[in-house]
């Protein structure tokens, strides 16, 4: 099967999507082959520059033209969150398979997007790329096999410092009309990871704070605009399987670049992971003899699929864009009928429901159950 691909939004994520679709048929053997066809930006001149640099034969300054193109079967949406719902619904209505970035949308919008995708019978995907890491699969295998015993607790975080400087101007990530602040934007990743490893979260107790209350309207401007979304969000969480945990999302944590980190403790041992060293997983086994107990490091290698499709030797490490290539593989497999690793819009909706339950809990100062 040969399918045409179109990208809407050629910024940071648009480039990673492009690399993913360019590489996927070279790294993996798949029943679907993809051809880059068109890129859309908010303006034709920007789209033309993107087409030249990323290698698309066609471009448009109007995303609706891309969605209307019958030669395009798969659409990536890598634009600011407030556009995701309208673009996804239009793409689904045109019969396209849709791969949209996180946070998917507000929960109300995500519900509509999920229903539309499922009713149309097209395949959807959300960009929770960190769960595509081969070491995440190892972590889940260790948990599921009982190697660390009964899981007692989860500590997870997604922490960065990209907004720690109060002089950084107001921009679309801070738009209250979107899915939310730190917990929606970056916290959605660690919520997806928590759910991938341990299953559904059923109850939350949240605490949400805006530390920097206003920002310049543009670089160097004196005029400011109020920030109405949170910089830090924390939550105690309870999982359906019975264990509890704590989750933090924070984009003003000095010196922290990509702490998508977690620790899972069980009755026989534990695992620790940090995204800043994402080709490693630390494992602690309480059965080790006294005097020798301690976390030991497992380095990613060909025995941890699909690492071996990228590199035949262990310890050489994958990169961020490789995670996107794995995500694209899982999307193409879903389009071909194997949905076992599809992270669909339904998952994006579940994650956003958790985000909004945390916000509600913080507002109302009480535990909130998820429906």
Ligand X SMILES: NC(=O)c1ccc[n+]([C@@H]2O[C@H](COP(=O)([O-])OP(=O)(O)OC[C@H]3O[C@@H](n4cnc5c(N)ncnc54)[C@H](O)[C@@H]3O)[C@@H](O)[C@H]2O)c1
CB of 294 to ligand X, least distance (A): 32
Q: Which of residues 119-158 bind ligand X (CB under 6 A)?
A: 127, 129
- Stretch of 40-48, 160-168, 273-281, 331-339 lying at the interface with ligand X (CB under 6 A): 40-48
Distance (Å, whole) CA 88 – CA 362:
30
CB 62, CB 72: distance < 8 Å: no
Q: Is 102 in the site for ligand X (CB under 6 A)?
A: yes
Q: Is 20 in the site for ligand X (CB under 6 A)?
A: no
CA angle in degrees (0–180, nearest 5) for 237-197-130: 105
How crowded is the C-beta side of 31, counted as CA atoms within 13 Å?
8
Binder to ligand X among 3, 6, 7, 9 (CB under 6 A)?
Answer: 9
Distance (Å, whole) CA 98 – CA 121:
11
Q: Which of 118, 83, 103, 172 is nearest to 358 (CA)?
A: 103
Q: Is 10 in the site for ligand X (CB under 6 A)?
A: yes
Distance (Å, whole) CA 8 – CA 166:
30
Q: Which of 329, 339, 307 is nearest to 24 (CA)?
A: 329
If the CB atoms of residues 8 and 264 are measured against ligand X, the closer one turns out to be 8
Residue nearest to ligand X (CB): 11
If the CB atoms of residues 239 and 359 are measured against ligand X, the closer one turns out to be 359
Rg over CA atoms, the chain = 21
Q: Is 63 in the site for ligand X (CB under 6 A)?
A: yes
Q: Is 8 in the site for ligand X (CB under 6 A)?
A: yes
Q: Is 347 in the site for ligand X (CB under 6 A)?
A: no
CB 102, CB 189: distance < 8 Å: yes
Q: Is 361 in the site for ligand X (CB under 6 A)?
A: no
If the CB atoms of residues 142 and 328 are measured against ligand X, the closer one turns out to be 328
Binder to ligand X among 58, 69, 160, 185 (CB under 6 A)?
Answer: 185
Give the binding site for ligand X (CB under 6 A): 8-14, 40-42, 63, 78-81, 83, 101-102, 127, 129, 185
């Amino acid at each position: 099967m040969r399918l045409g691909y179109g990208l809407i939004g050629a910024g940071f994520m648009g480039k990673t999507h492009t690399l993913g679709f360019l590489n996927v048929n070279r790294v993996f053997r798949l029943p679907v082959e993809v051809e880059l066809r068109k890129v859309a930006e908010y303006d034709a001149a920007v789209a033309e520059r993107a087409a030249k640099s990323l290698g698309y034969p066609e471009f448009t300054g109007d995303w609706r033209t891309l969605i209307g193109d019958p030669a395009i079967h798969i659409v990536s949406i890598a634009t600011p969150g407030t556009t995701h719902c309208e673009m996804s619904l239009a793409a689904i209505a045109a019969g396209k398979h849709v791969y949209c970035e996180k946070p998917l949308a507000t929960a109300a919008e995500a519900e509509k997007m999920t229903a539309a995708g499922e009713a149309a019978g097209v395949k959807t995907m959300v960009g929770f790329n960190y769960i595509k890491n081969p070491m995440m699969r190892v972590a889940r295998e260790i948990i599921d096999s009982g190697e660390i015993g009964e899981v007692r607790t989860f500590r997870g975080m997604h922490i960065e410092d990209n907004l720690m400087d109060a002089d950084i101007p107001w921009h679309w990530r801070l738009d209250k009309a979107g899915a939310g602040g730190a917990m929606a934007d970056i916290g959605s990743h660690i919520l997806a990871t928590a759910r991938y490893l341990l299953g559904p979260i059923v109850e939350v107790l949240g605490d949400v704070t805006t530390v920097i209350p206003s920002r310049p309207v543009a670089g160097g401007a004196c005029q400011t605009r109020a920030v109405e979304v949170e910089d830090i969000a924390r939550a105690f969480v309870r999982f359906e399987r019975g264990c509890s945990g704590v989750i933090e999302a924070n984009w003003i944590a000095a010196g922290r670049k990509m702490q998508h980190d977690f620790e899972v403790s069980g009755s026989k041992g534990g695992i620790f992971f940090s995204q800043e060293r994402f080709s490693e997983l630390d494992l602690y086994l309480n059965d080790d003899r006294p005097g020798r107990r301690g976390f030991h490091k497992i380095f990613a290698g060909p025995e941890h699929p699909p690492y071996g499709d990228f590199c035949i030797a262990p310890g050489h490490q994958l990169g961020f864009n490789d995670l996107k290539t794995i995500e694209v593989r899982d999307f193409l497999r879903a389009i071909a009928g194997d949905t076992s690793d599809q992270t669909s819009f339904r998952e994006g909706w579940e994650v956003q429901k958790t985000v909004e339950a945390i916000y509600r809990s913080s507002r109302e100062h009480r535990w909130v159950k998820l429906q």
